[in-house]
Chain A
Amino acid sequence: MKIVDTRGQSCPAPLIATKKAIKETGMEEAFQVLIGSQNALNNISRFLKDNKAGFSVTESEGFWTMTVSKKGR
């Protein structure tokens, strides 16, 4: 699975990277985004909800792993 690491990037770079991955995969396959800040997590989550993309989030070791797919598995 494609992994986009946005940790350490300042806003809005994590969202830009996520959107790029959406375009590249065409949402045909799931991908993961590693997110290092609460703000970036909030903004990307909001963006995906607004654009009706599915996602799930797990938190570990001080960062978040977001799995993005059509159905959000």
Chain B
Amino acid sequence: MKIDLLGMVESGGCSAKIPPRQLEEILKHIPLPVDPDILVDIDTHDDAGVYRVNDELALVLTTDFFPPVCSDPYEFGQIAAANSISDVYAMGGTPVIALNIMMFPSGKLPMEAYADILVGGYDKASEAGTRIIGGHTIEDFPPKYGLAVVGYVHPGKIITNAGARPGDLLILTKPLGTGLILAGQRMGMASEADIEESKYFMKLLNKTGAEVMRKFGIKGATDVTGFGLAGHALKMARAGNVSLSLNMGRVPLIGEAYRLVDEGCIPGVSFTNLDFVEDESGFSEDLDYNLKMIAMDAQTSGGLLMSVPGEKAGVVISELHKAGLTRAAVIGKVTEKREKYIYLEN
């Protein structure tokens, strides 16, 4: 029997994430623990927490899981693992160990799907040099999978949301469009080629990008995931008290992502993300509406958004291209804090 995980997800990608505004409101009321060894917490809306063990070592902790983003269980496992591990890379860390988190409907899916998801996760984690040493499963429908990951980072070399400085250029390492192509796939509008390209990028570890960041001593970065390029740019801008200008026309796109948006293939979560960013965003008068909505597209296992000192940007781009990240591009710049935190133009 051919297993189709996508066919099991009833509500579509729209509802997979709590709306960010609601989440912020809730988190406001939860006290943050105070401890000098907590080097990074939710305060800067970073990708992972960082805890200092000693002057040479800090632990990077992160977890992430979600319902299927493709039909094949093995590929789903690979993508979910790449996505979970990505947060460690975005902090400048090296992923070391992980635990599986699985929700699986044993009455509705053959157990071979369960095994395939785990093997996909195991293979991707191995590629990242990460050992999966345990996990936890509960019955749930539809299935969900991800990892809780622990990484190492030197306490003096943490890369955070707060590291963007005026004069920096912004580099994005993967093209955008995974959210809307998944929606297009459900609608029967996305081509096979686009679906394959999208899966290729979702499976691609941010390991190479992280190595380049470390080599050049980059201080500010995040990975672009559920809040879209605009949402994650906003988090960076707030954390660093700077403004980010994005040239949407320069943003690399997967396949025919633009055509899909132009035909109205805009997932609901894009509007949630727009609602999250718009009060603190400036949109240029002539901004192409399709490009604006691409900036809101929720990414699964998206690329790194790095803030790179202007004079290093050229060499960083050529290193990324040489390392195989051929779609990496300069997509904007960092300025002193202006009226709005982020600005989108064509």
In the complex, whether A25 has a CB less than 8 A from a CB of chain B is no
Are B263's CB and A20's CB within 8 A?
yes
Residue-wise, chain B 1-42 has the 8 Å CB interface mask toward A (1 for contact) of 000000000111010000000000000000000000000000
**Distance, CA A17 to CA B266, complexed state (A):** 12
In the complex, whether A15 has a CB less than 8 A from a CB of chain B is yes
In the complex, whether B204 has a CB less than 8 A from a CB of chain A is no
**Distance, CA A15 to CA B11, complexed state (A):** 16
In the complex, whether B187 has a CB less than 8 A from a CB of chain A is yes
**Chain B, range 250-287, C-beta contacts under 8 Å to A:** 263-268, 271, 274
Contacting residues, chain B, for A16 (C-beta < 8 A): 187, 189, 263-265
In the complex, whether B289 has a CB less than 8 A from a CB of chain A is yes
Are A12's CB and B264's CB within 8 A?
yes
Contacting residues, chain B, for A56 (C-beta < 8 A): none
Q: Which residue of A lies closest to B183 (CB)?
A: A12
Shortest CB distance A63–B (Å): 18
Q: Which residue of A lies closest to B14 (CB)?
A: A11
Q: Which of A43, A46, A50 has the most CB of B within 10 A?
A: A43
The bracket for how many chain A residues form the interface is 10 to 19
**Chain B, range 169-219, C-beta contacts under 8 Å to A:** 183, 186-187, 189
Chain B count of residues within 8 A CB distance of the other chain: 17
Are A43's CB and B187's CB within 8 A?
no
Shortest CB distance A25–B (Å): 14
List 4 additional contacts besides A16-B264, A19-B263; criterion CB under 8 Å.
A11-B183, A12-B14, A16-B187, A16-B265
Q: Which residue of A lies closest to B292 (CB)?
A: A50
- B residues near A (Cβ < 8 Å) are 10-12, 14, 183, 186-187, 189, 263-268, 271, 274, 289
Are B264's CB and A20's CB within 8 A?
yes
Main secondary structure on chain A at its contact with chain B?
A: helix
Known contacts A11-B14, A51-B289: does B271 contact A46 (CB below 8 Å)?
yes
Known contacts A12-B183, A39-B14: does B289 contact A50 (CB below 8 Å)?
yes
Contacting residues, chain A, for B289 (C-beta < 8 A): 50-51
Known contacts A39-B14, A50-B289, A51-B289: does B274 contact A12 (CB below 8 Å)?
no
In the complex, whether A18 has a CB less than 8 A from a CB of chain B is yes
Known contacts A43-B271, A46-B271, A50-B289: does B264 contact A19 (CB below 8 Å)?
yes
Are A15's CB and B266's CB within 8 A?
yes
Contacting residues, chain A, for B183 (C-beta < 8 A): 11-12
